[in-house]
Protein backbone atom coordinates (compact mmCIF):
# COMPACT_ATOMS: atom_id res chain seq x y z
CA UNK A 1 0.00 0.00 0.00
CA UNK A 2 1.61 3.14 -1.12
CA UNK A 3 0.62 6.72 -1.64
CA UNK A 4 -0.06 8.25 -5.07
CA UNK A 5 2.31 11.09 -5.91
CA UNK A 6 0.99 11.87 -9.41
CA UNK A 7 -2.23 13.67 -8.47
CA UNK A 8 -5.67 12.46 -7.54
CA UNK A 9 -7.42 10.07 -9.94
CA UNK A 10 -10.47 12.35 -10.13
CA UNK A 11 -8.31 15.19 -11.43
CA UNK A 12 -6.62 13.03 -14.05
CA UNK A 13 -9.96 11.70 -15.29
CA UNK A 14 -11.38 15.21 -15.55
CA UNK A 15 -8.37 16.44 -17.52
CA UNK A 16 -8.62 13.53 -19.95
CA UNK A 17 -12.34 14.05 -20.52
CA UNK A 18 -11.89 17.76 -21.13
CA UNK A 19 -8.98 17.08 -23.50
CA UNK A 20 -11.27 14.82 -25.56
CA UNK A 21 -14.36 17.02 -25.83
CA UNK A 22 -12.58 20.38 -25.44
CA UNK A 23 -12.13 20.93 -29.20
CA UNK A 24 -15.90 20.57 -29.66
CA UNK A 25 -16.44 23.35 -27.12
CA UNK A 26 -13.85 25.65 -28.68
CA UNK A 27 -15.17 25.04 -32.22
CA UNK A 28 -18.81 23.86 -31.95
CA UNK A 29 -19.90 21.69 -34.88
CA UNK A 30 -22.59 22.82 -37.28
CA UNK A 31 -26.20 21.94 -36.61
CA UNK A 32 -26.70 18.22 -37.17
CA UNK A 33 -22.94 17.47 -37.23
CA UNK A 34 -22.46 16.76 -33.51
CA UNK A 35 -23.32 13.08 -33.84
CA UNK A 36 -20.76 12.58 -36.58
CA UNK A 37 -18.05 14.36 -34.57
CA UNK A 38 -18.80 12.21 -31.52
CA UNK A 39 -18.63 9.05 -33.62
CA UNK A 40 -15.18 10.10 -34.86
CA UNK A 41 -14.01 10.60 -31.27
CA UNK A 42 -15.50 7.24 -30.24
CA UNK A 43 -13.48 5.52 -32.97
CA UNK A 44 -10.21 6.82 -31.51
CA UNK A 45 -8.12 5.21 -28.79
CA UNK A 46 -7.07 7.24 -25.76
CA UNK A 47 -4.56 6.73 -22.96
CA UNK A 48 -6.05 5.61 -19.64
CA UNK A 49 -5.16 8.29 -17.04
CA UNK A 50 -4.21 5.71 -14.40
CA UNK A 51 -2.95 2.56 -16.14
CA UNK A 52 -1.72 4.32 -19.32
CA UNK A 53 -3.31 1.52 -21.36
CA UNK A 54 -5.36 2.26 -24.54
CA UNK A 55 -9.03 2.94 -23.85
CA UNK A 56 -12.09 3.93 -25.90
CA UNK A 57 -15.37 5.64 -25.04
CA UNK A 58 -18.88 5.25 -26.46
CA UNK A 59 -20.81 7.97 -28.26
CA UNK A 60 -23.37 8.30 -25.45
CA UNK A 61 -20.58 8.76 -22.89
CA UNK A 62 -18.88 11.44 -24.96
CA UNK A 63 -22.22 13.16 -25.54
CA UNK A 64 -22.89 13.27 -21.79
CA UNK A 65 -19.47 14.84 -21.17
CA UNK A 66 -20.03 17.40 -23.92
CA UNK A 67 -23.34 18.70 -22.62
CA UNK A 68 -22.15 18.67 -19.00
CA UNK A 69 -19.09 20.78 -19.86
CA UNK A 70 -21.05 23.12 -22.16
CA UNK A 71 -23.62 23.84 -19.47
CA UNK A 72 -20.95 24.55 -16.83
CA UNK A 73 -20.98 28.23 -15.86
CA UNK A 74 -17.46 28.59 -14.50
CA UNK A 75 -15.24 25.51 -14.60
CA UNK A 76 -16.01 22.87 -17.27
CA UNK A 77 -13.19 20.66 -15.98
CA UNK A 78 -14.69 20.50 -12.50
CA UNK A 79 -18.00 19.05 -13.72
CA UNK A 80 -16.11 16.27 -15.49
CA UNK A 81 -14.58 14.92 -12.29
CA UNK A 82 -15.78 11.54 -11.12
CA UNK A 83 -18.22 12.13 -8.25
CA UNK A 84 -17.12 10.88 -4.85
CA UNK A 85 -19.24 7.99 -3.59
CA UNK A 86 -21.71 8.88 -0.84
CA UNK A 87 -20.41 5.99 1.27
CA UNK A 88 -16.74 6.84 0.73
CA UNK A 89 -14.74 6.07 3.86
CA UNK A 90 -17.59 4.18 5.53
CA UNK A 91 -16.60 0.65 4.37
CA UNK A 92 -20.16 -0.72 4.18
CA UNK A 93 -18.99 -4.19 3.10
CA UNK A 94 -17.23 -4.72 6.45
CA UNK A 95 -19.38 -5.35 9.49
CA UNK A 96 -18.40 -3.94 12.88
CA UNK A 97 -17.32 -7.42 13.98
CA UNK A 98 -15.10 -7.84 10.92
CA UNK A 99 -13.42 -4.50 11.55
CA UNK A 100 -12.60 -5.48 15.12
CA UNK A 101 -11.23 -8.81 13.93
CA UNK A 102 -9.01 -7.06 11.39
CA UNK A 103 -7.71 -4.59 13.97
CA UNK A 104 -6.93 -7.39 16.41
CA UNK A 105 -5.32 -9.47 13.66
CA UNK A 106 -3.14 -6.55 12.63
CA UNK A 107 -1.95 -5.91 16.19
CA UNK A 108 -0.81 -9.52 16.45
CA UNK A 109 0.73 -9.73 12.95
CA UNK A 110 1.87 -6.32 11.79
CA UNK A 111 4.29 -7.83 9.27
CA UNK A 112 1.52 -9.62 7.34
CA UNK A 113 0.67 -8.55 3.82
CA UNK A 114 -2.89 -7.60 2.86
CA UNK A 115 -3.31 -11.00 1.18
CA UNK A 116 -2.38 -12.80 4.39
CA UNK A 117 -4.91 -10.75 6.31
CA UNK A 118 -7.58 -11.55 3.70
CA UNK A 119 -6.80 -15.28 3.67
CA UNK A 120 -6.94 -15.57 7.45
CA UNK A 121 -10.07 -13.45 7.61
CA UNK A 122 -11.74 -15.79 5.11
CA UNK A 123 -11.03 -18.75 7.40
CA UNK A 124 -12.62 -16.95 10.36
CA UNK A 125 -15.67 -15.96 8.32
CA UNK A 126 -16.15 -19.55 7.18
CA UNK A 127 -16.13 -20.68 10.82
CA UNK A 128 -18.36 -17.95 12.22
CA UNK A 129 -21.35 -16.79 10.18
CA UNK A 130 -22.06 -14.01 12.69
CA UNK A 131 -19.10 -12.08 11.29
CA UNK A 132 -21.10 -11.44 8.13
CA UNK A 133 -20.24 -11.96 4.45
CA UNK A 134 -16.61 -12.05 3.39
CA UNK A 135 -15.50 -8.71 1.88
CA UNK A 136 -13.36 -8.47 -1.23
CA UNK A 137 -9.58 -8.02 -1.23
CA UNK A 138 -9.99 -4.39 -2.35
CA UNK A 139 -12.41 -3.64 0.51
CA UNK A 140 -10.01 -5.05 3.12
CA UNK A 141 -7.11 -3.17 1.58
CA UNK A 142 -9.01 0.14 1.61
CA UNK A 143 -10.02 -0.40 5.24
CA UNK A 144 -6.47 -1.14 6.39
CA UNK A 145 -5.14 1.87 4.49
CA UNK A 146 -7.84 4.18 5.87
CA UNK A 147 -7.06 3.04 9.42
CA UNK A 148 -3.32 3.52 8.94
CA UNK A 149 -2.70 -0.20 9.45
CA UNK A 150 0.23 -0.48 7.07
CA UNK A 151 2.49 -3.47 6.82
CA UNK A 152 5.54 -3.19 9.06
CA UNK A 153 8.65 -5.09 8.13
CA UNK A 154 10.26 -7.08 10.89
CA UNK A 155 13.42 -5.27 12.05
CA UNK A 156 16.76 -6.94 11.58
CA UNK A 157 18.03 -8.81 14.61
CA UNK A 158 14.51 -8.80 16.10
CA UNK A 159 15.44 -11.79 18.27
CA UNK A 160 18.22 -9.91 20.09
CA UNK A 161 17.75 -8.88 23.75
CA UNK A 162 16.08 -5.49 24.02
CA UNK A 163 14.54 -5.56 20.54
CA UNK A 164 11.06 -6.21 21.92
CA UNK A 165 11.42 -3.43 24.51
CA UNK A 166 12.54 -1.03 21.78
CA UNK A 167 9.55 -1.94 19.62
CA UNK A 168 7.18 -1.36 22.53
CA UNK A 169 8.76 2.03 23.19
CA UNK A 170 8.32 3.06 19.54
CA UNK A 171 4.63 2.21 19.71
CA UNK A 172 4.20 4.70 22.56
CA UNK A 173 5.80 7.52 20.59
CA UNK A 174 3.87 9.80 18.24
CA UNK A 175 4.86 9.15 14.63
CA UNK A 176 3.29 11.53 12.16
CA UNK A 177 2.80 10.81 8.48
CA UNK A 178 3.02 13.45 5.77
CA UNK A 179 0.71 16.37 6.60
CA UNK A 180 0.09 17.82 3.13
CA UNK A 181 -2.50 16.16 0.90
CA UNK A 182 -1.12 17.54 -2.37
CA UNK A 183 2.10 18.78 -3.96
CA UNK A 184 3.14 22.38 -3.18
CA UNK A 185 0.83 22.40 -0.17
CA UNK A 186 3.63 22.58 2.41
CA UNK A 187 7.40 23.13 2.24
CA UNK A 188 9.74 22.59 5.16
CA UNK A 189 13.45 22.49 5.92
CA UNK A 190 15.37 19.61 7.42
CA UNK A 191 19.01 18.92 8.30
CA UNK A 192 21.20 15.84 8.02
CA UNK A 193 24.48 15.39 9.91
CA UNK A 194 27.28 14.03 7.79
CA UNK A 195 28.69 10.64 8.73
CA UNK A 196 32.31 11.75 8.23
CA UNK A 197 34.33 14.79 9.26
CA UNK A 198 35.82 17.04 6.61
CA UNK A 199 39.06 19.01 6.71
CA UNK A 200 38.40 22.74 6.21
CA UNK A 201 40.73 25.28 4.62
CA UNK A 202 41.60 26.48 8.11
CA UNK A 203 42.98 23.04 8.95
CA UNK A 204 40.22 21.97 11.36
CA UNK A 205 38.05 18.87 11.21
CA UNK A 206 34.32 19.58 11.23
CA UNK A 207 31.11 17.59 10.79
CA UNK A 208 29.16 18.99 7.83
CA UNK A 209 25.41 19.64 7.92
CA UNK A 210 23.22 19.15 4.85
CA UNK A 211 20.33 21.62 4.61
CA UNK A 212 17.39 20.45 2.52
CA UNK A 213 14.18 22.29 1.59
CA UNK A 214 11.54 19.63 0.84
CA UNK A 215 8.00 19.45 -0.45
CA UNK A 216 6.03 17.59 2.22
CA UNK A 217 3.80 15.55 -0.13
CA UNK A 218 6.04 14.63 -3.06
CA UNK A 219 9.29 14.71 -1.00
CA UNK A 220 10.89 16.76 -3.79
CA UNK A 221 14.07 18.53 -2.65
CA UNK A 222 14.23 21.93 -4.32
CA UNK A 223 17.37 23.04 -2.47
CA UNK A 224 20.30 21.14 -0.92
CA UNK A 225 23.34 22.82 0.62
CA UNK A 226 26.24 21.61 2.74
CA UNK A 227 27.22 23.76 5.75
CA UNK A 228 30.35 23.16 7.84
CA UNK A 229 30.14 23.29 11.61
CA UNK A 230 27.54 24.43 14.09
CA UNK A 231 28.90 27.99 14.07
CA UNK A 232 28.55 28.22 10.30
CA UNK A 233 25.05 26.81 10.64
CA UNK A 234 24.03 29.48 13.15
CA UNK A 235 25.52 32.20 10.95
CA UNK A 236 23.65 30.87 7.94
CA UNK A 237 20.31 30.78 9.79
CA UNK A 238 20.86 34.31 11.08
CA UNK A 239 21.57 35.52 7.53
CA UNK A 240 18.41 33.87 6.19
CA UNK A 241 16.35 35.39 9.00
CA UNK A 242 17.65 38.88 8.15
CA UNK A 243 16.66 38.36 4.52
CA UNK A 244 13.09 37.48 5.46
125, containing H or E segment:
helix 114-127
Q: Which of 91, 143, 80 is nearest to 114 (CA)?
A: 143
Q: What angle do CA 113, 82, 76 make, to 5 degrees?
A: 145
By the 8 A CB rule, do 221 and 212 touch?
Answer: yes
pTM over 0.95: no
E strand or H helix at 162: none
For the chain, give me the number of helices (H) and strands (E)? 8, 7
Average pLDDT in the chain: 81
- Quote the pLDDT of residue 4: 43
Cα 23 vs. chain centroid, distance in angstroms? 32
**Distance between CA 148 and CA 177 in Å, rounded?**
10
The residues spanned by each domain of the chain are 9-80, 96-146, 187-243
User: What is the per-residue pLDDT across 175-228, written as a single tens digit (0 to 9) for each?
Assistant: 555 567 778 888 888 778 888 888 877 888 888 888 888 888 787 888 888 877
Question: Per-residue confidence at 44, pLDDT binned at 50, 70, 90?
Answer: very high
Amino acid sequence: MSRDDDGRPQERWAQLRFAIIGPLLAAPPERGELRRELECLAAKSWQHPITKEPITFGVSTLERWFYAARQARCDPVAVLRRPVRKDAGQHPSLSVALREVLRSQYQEHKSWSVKLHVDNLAVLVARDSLLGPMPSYQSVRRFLKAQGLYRQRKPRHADRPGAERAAQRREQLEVRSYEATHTHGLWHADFHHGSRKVLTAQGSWEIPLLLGVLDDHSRLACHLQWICGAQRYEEYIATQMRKT
